[in-house]
Each structure stands twice: as C-alpha cells, then as structure tokens.
Structure 1
C-alpha cells in the first residue's frame, strides 16, 4: 500500500510541473520550435501572396530574404514552451498585417502579439 501511495505522490508532483504538462500537450502549449515553424509558415504564405502580386520577377529572392529576416527577428527559444493561443495571435498578425500593410519580418518586430511572446515558466 505504501508503494502505491509513494508512486502516486511522485506521479502527482511530476505531473504538476509545467514542463511535464507542456511536453504532454496538456497545458495548451507548444514547443518553441513548433511555434517558430507555424509563424514562418504564415510568413511564407504572406510573402508569396504579396511579392507574387507586386513584383513577380523578384518574388523568390524577396521571399527568401524576408523569411530569413523573420526568423532572425523571432525571439523564440526552440526548447521552451509557449501558449498556443499567443502563438495563434502572432500567426494571425503575420497573415493579415504582414500581407496587407507590412511584410512579415516587420510585422514580427512591430506587432505586440509577436514581439511579446513569453515562454511558460516552471511551476515547481
């Protein structure tokens, strides 16, 4: 009986740790590398649509440069976890503002939703 209680308490303490809950996907968080991937995917689509319609001759070079700049400006640690809802807000900004007003790399630096992405902290 004591073994079961001991294992139960250890399991509960381990489960309560935010990092464990994040890695299991229970806390509504995603890993930084996945967040970076989602934002870069949105940036790629915005770049293709924008530069493909405004400057088709140089669209490939401009898209490549802007994707490099977007990745450079993203302040995301690939090994930490971020709230999915916060990442979704940044992706939405990149899709709308990045397409209609600014390019995605400028959107990442100026949008509050993208520049203020904060990693989750540990509970214990």
Structure 2
C-alpha cells in the first residue's frame, strides 16, 4: 500500500510538472504588470540614490519612469520570476549604481522570458 502511495505521489508530481509548467501554472512566474512595477521602482530608486550622491539633490530621469517599456515588458504576459529578480537586482545593485539604471536596464533586462502556453510564448523552453 505504501509503495502504491509513493508511486502515485511521484507520478502526480511528474505529471504536475509536465502539464502545469507549460501551461504557465508553475510557481516561478510573475505577471507582467507586477514585473513592470518592480523594474520601474528599481530604476527610480537607483536614480534617486545616484543623483543624491552626485549632486546632493534627489532627482529622477524620465527614462527611469519608462524602465518597463525599455525592458519590453508586456503587462498581460507572465515572466519567469527568477529572471525578473535578477534584472531588479542588477538595477539596484553595484552595476546599476556604476552604469546607471538606463544602461543596466538595457544590458540586463532585455532577455526576460515569458512563461507558459496560455499567457506566455507558445513554446516555453524545457
């Protein structure tokens, strides 16, 4: 009985991954509108800190407000959360403070992958 339960759980787990991940129902995904907000917030934060350090006044550039558009984020799609996390980390990290939020956004956030058949690309990578 225990063997059947273990095999059943294993089969369900594998089926779950094989079915739900391509459909975009896995846990490591983030809606485009949320990802866009996080990237924009990171760019604004980096601009505020950089401008305060360099000129003594906190200012933001118009390009930091357009950070999600520069990263080509589509609000109705879903993105791999770990890729979005890395993008935000690059913008708010050392690279962002040295290169600025715009250049870091262009370098780090241009290859964000969408996730799932239903709401993402038709053929996600396995």
The one of 96, 99, 103 equivalent to 1:98 is 96
The one of 100, 106, 109 equivalent to 1:109 is 106
Query: Which consecutive unaligned segments of at least 5 residues does structure 1 have?
Result: 1-11
SS in 1 for 2:50: helix
**Structure 1 moving runs of 4+ over 3 Å:** none
Counterpart Cα distance in 1 of 2:96 and 2:89: 9
Structure richer in helix, relative to its length? 1
TM-score for the superposition, normalised by structure 2? 0.68
After superposition, residues 1-124 of structure 1 pair within 5 angstroms as 16=20, 18-19=23-24, 21=25, 26-57=26-57, 59-60=58-59, 63-96=60-93, 97-99=95-97, 101-111=98-108, 114-122=109-117
Over aligned residues, Cα RMSD in angstroms? 2.3
How many residue pairs were aligned? Answer: 100
Paired residues of 2:37 and 2:68 also in contact (CA < 8 A):
no
Deviation, 1:85, is 0.7
Counterpart Cα distance in 1 of 2:66 and 2:30: 23
Paired residues of 1:47 and 1:66 also in contact (CA < 8 A):
no
TM-score for the superposition, normalised by structure 1? 0.69
Query: Which consecutive unaligned segments of at least 5 residues does structure 2 have?
Result: 1-15
Counterpart Cα distance in 2 of 1:52 and 1:66: 17
Deviation, 1:69, is 4.3
